[in-house]
Amino acid sequence: MTVADQLVERPSTITAPAALTFRRVRRIFRGGVEALSPTSLTVQRGEFIAIVGPSGCGKSTLLRLAAGLDKPTSGEIELGSESLGYVFQDPTLLPWRSVEANIGLGLEIAKVPRRERAEKVARAIELIGLQGFEKALPRTLSGGMRMRVSLARALTGEPDVFLFDEPFAALDEITRQALGDELLALFARQRFAGVFVTHSVAEAVYLSSRVLVMSPRPGRIVAEVAVPTEYPRDPEFRFSTEYSAAVADVSHALRHKAGPRGAL
């Protein structure tokens, strides 16, 4: 029995449907490359998980499949909610729109009335701490601020399921840690289900209660590391023994199960 199969058979004590379920989902690209070998996983409501793996292990494919941006070759995907948040690796802001117009884009496309839109945008701006930058254009902002705008935009959809595709990968370490803390604060308030794809072990452990380790070609889940520390977590968590132990476990799994030799 593979690790992936054990994941789906974990008995669920919660009667409400899971936030996200993959049942033996497989994706083969045109040309025959197997990006994702049959994978099963369940993300419960209010659960924050992370997926780590080397480049090209299919973790982004997994996320794109979950969001409906890509269709599986076989298998089933079930989303427990209609309201989905997705944060891309780059902030994907429209450079001709101001911060507030960017944040309101999704609402605008969904034809939400102007007044309601303005209220929701203002709330997201407050939640992310972008006050004073409403009229600024993206090109005048730093990378970290742009990512904040991107987060605020995703928040306006009031997502129950929040998917993150290496959103902080292009940022410097200090900004990255700051945004990680902000994300945890947000999680504490909104209690969405989160799937955070990253190739930073430290980030994965810090944010999530469960880290799934993927191996490349064909992409599959090879290990799962639990991070039992309760939320809310504060920056001191980074210096705890629980944190170090989890980082060591994930690193070990990456090295021995997801590495080129481990794949053999």
Partner 1 sequence: MSAGTGTAVILDDADEIAALDQAELDAAVEAGRQTSRFGRKVKNLALPVITTIVVIGFWQYFSTHILAQSKRFILPPPTDVIRIGFGNARNRAELLQGILQTSEVALAGLGVAIVLGSLIALAMSQAIWLERAIYPWAVFLQTIPILALVPLISFWFGYGFGSRVLVCVMIAMFPIITNTLFGLQSVSRSHRDLFTLYKASWGTRIKKLMVPNAMPSVLAGWRISAGMSVTGAIVGDYFFRQGRAGIGRLLDAYTQHLRSSQLFAGVILASGFGLAVFWVFGLLTQGLVGRWHETGQKRGED
Query: What are the residues binding partner 1 (CB under 8 A)?
Result: 64, 67-69, 84, 86, 88-90, 92, 94-96, 105-106, 108-110, 137-139, 236, 238-239
Which residue, 68 or 260, has its beta carbon nearer to partner 1? 68
What does the CA dihedral 136, 187, 5, 247 come to, rounded to 10 degrees? 90
Which residue, 37 or 156, has its beta carbon nearer to partner 1? 156
Which residue, 248 or 263, has its beta carbon nearer to partner 1? 248
**Minimum distance from CB of 264 to partner 1 (Å)?**
33
Alpha-carbon distance 114 to 96, whole Å?
A: 20
Which residue, 67 or 169, has its beta carbon nearer to partner 1? 67
Please give the sequence-ordered ranges of beta strands (E in DSSP) within the chain, or none if there are none: 20-28, 34-43, 48-52, 74-79, 84-87, 161-165, 193-198, 210-215, 220-226
Handedness of CA 25, 260, 180, 165 (dihedral sign): negative
Alpha-carbon distance 76 to 210, whole Å?
A: 22
Which residue, 68 or 232, has its beta carbon nearer to partner 1? 68
Classify 77 in phi/psi space as left (phi over 0), alpha (psi -120 to 50) or beta. beta
**Minimum distance from CB of 6 to partner 1 (Å)?**
31
**Minimum distance from CB of 135 to partner 1 (Å)?**
11
**Minimum distance from CB of 245 to partner 1 (Å)?**
15
**Minimum distance from CB of 210 to partner 1 (Å)?**
25
Nearest Cα residue to 57 out of 213, 216, 196: 216
**Minimum distance from CB of 68 to partner 1 (Å)?**
8
**Looking only at Cα atoms, what is the longest distance across the chain?**
58
Alpha-carbon distance 20 to 42, whole Å?
A: 6
Contact of 79 with 19, CB cutoff 8 Å: yes
Which residue, 34 or 90, has its beta carbon nearer to partner 1? 90
Q: How many CA atoms lie within 13 A of 239 on its CB side?
A: 3
**Minimum distance from CB of 106 to partner 1 (Å)?**
5
Number of Cβ within a 10 Å radius of residue 116: 10
**Minimum distance from CB of 215 to partner 1 (Å)?**
25
